[in-house]
Amino acid sequence: MLGLKALVPKARILELLKPHSMPPDLPIEPRILAIAQRLRQAGGRAILVGGIVRDHLLGAPSKDYDLEIYGLPIRRLEQELSRFGEVIAIGRAFGVLRIKGLEADFSIPRRDSKVGQGHRGFIVELDPDLDFTEAARRRDLTINSMGFDPLTGELLDPFDGCRDLERGILRATDREHFAEDSLRGLRVAQFHGRLEMAPDEELLGLCRNLDLSDLAGERIFDELKKLLLRARRPSLGFKFLQATGLLRFFPELVGMVGVPQDPQWHPEGTVWEHTLMVVDEAAGLRTGDEAEDLALMWGALLHDVGKPPTTVEVDGRIRSPAHDDVGAPMAEALLLRLRGSKALIERVCALVRHHLAPAQLPSGGAKLKAYRRLARRLAEAGTGYELLLRLASADHFGRTTPDALAREFPDGEKFREAMEGLAAAEHTVRDVVLGRHLLARGFSPGPSLGPILAACRDVQDETGWSDPDRILNQVLPRLADDTTS
């Protein structure tokens, strides 16, 4: 079994952890305090729960306001909240309300009973008189089962979550409740990656018995998104999925495990070992732009997904010919199952298909037309060379070759210079010849214009011409010759 505990620097947790009593300087939105005061006057008690308590104890910023309201039925809670604005029921069956314009969830304590498969297979019983310990028992991990009273400053910790933070341990709050939602296996993976805390043996065993096939793609995507965007070392989360067998629910990923690579280019080991190094390198290149960062991280995870079906041994050397072209549709298939957005899928597929270009174009002495074509294809996918170069840099440094260890990537710098020069000279990679130019020459609208425009695009990339008539004067006679020969 993978030694997960050995991967986690306990000193990191000890360094961040505050004392066991809740620090008084937890910054709370003034409107939240005003609402808590009002609810107390109405006979209720508002308790901050979940991430904001955990993150504050770790010294991390959080605006994740989740409040459980004790002592008030949901109709009375809705009535009291309406004093502060329009109330929105985002999950009335689950007892969850919001106030328009305020990023906070207000919920009634509840009991859940699993009656079927998937997230919808629950009977939810709202119980405003439930005590905090019983309400917290249904939460996944002890570090997420703490509460904080914003009015009294009292820390509620019935399952020793604070102690687990200090020890750097992820532990199930209640083994029976934990198994009720298989998504919790992915949640453990992302908390392992984000907090660099180790699951205990019981939690590992619980996760091994989970079946992710009952989960909607969107729920899986959301948990992986948190791992990819928030973890300093996302590889820890994916190693956890591998160690517990949950990686089997992602055939494109598990296919990379154990696949050999040429030791000259990849002395670090297999495709999967290289991929995990690349994912961590890419995490260090995130900029805070969520759309770009998500495309970068998925591109890093899937850039070599085409190697397993293409890897062969030729003359004693391991090769993976055309793995970039093979990998793009495999990446698309995975992201479609997870209900990724069309824009994300197009970006990731372009990154996978062209991830070798920043190294291969300069080393192969490519002409300007090759850079133009690449810039056009990236633009068509809604991205640019900067994001591709970030992925290529992560790919280059996510290995143990001498130049990677020395943090040198000269071809990447040459690629950047070439693309910057191209952008400065041409400002755009838009087509020069458009449909309207063909209509002006007497062509009729329709699919037959496609091949002509494609031929014009090739001439534009080859020559760099920006005059549509000049391009057409070269293309049209050639096409006429082809049709009469």
Listed in sequence order, the residues at least 6 apart from 222 whose beta carbon sits closer than 8 Å to its beta carbon are none
Provide CB contacts within 8 A for 418, sequence distance 6+. Answer: 361, 362, 368, 371
Contact 95, 56 (CB under 8 A): no
Residues of the chain with CATH 3.30.460.10: 12-171
CB atoms within 10 A of CB 25: 7
Strand partners, 106: 67, 97
User: What local confidence, expressed as pLDDT, does residue 423 receive?
Assistant: 74
pLDDT given for residue 8 in this prediction: 36
The residue written with tokens 């999950």 in the block is: 91
For 397, the 3-state DSSP assignment is helix
Per-residue model confidence (pLDDT) at position 94: 67
What does the pLDDT read at residue 6? 34
Q: Can you give the pLDDT at residue 194?
A: 93
Q: How far apart are the first and last CA of the chain?
A: 68
Per the listing, tokens 């018995």 go with 209
- Reference 179, options 112, 127, 133; nearest CA is 112
* Whether the Cβ atoms of residue 70 and residue 125 lie closer than 8 Å to each other: no
Integer CA distances (angstroms), 52 to 153, 229, 323, 437, in order: 14, 18, 43, 59
Which tens digits make up the pLDDT trace of 240-269? 999 999 999 999 999 999 999 999 999 999
Query: 325-378, pLDDT tens digit by residue?
Result: 999 999 999 999 999 999 999 999 999 999 999 999 999 999 888 998 899 899
Enter the CATH code of domain 12-171: 3.30.460.10
CA distance 213 to 340: 17
pLDDT of residue 312: 96
Residues of the chain with pLDDT under 50: 1-22, 24, 118-120, 485
β-pair partners for 155: 148
Assessment of whether the complete model's pTM goes beyond 0.75:
yes
Burial class for 245, CB neighbours closer than 10 Å (0-12, 13-18, 19+): middle
Q: What is the CA radius of gyration of the chain?
A: 28
> What confidence score (pLDDT) does residue 479 get?
78
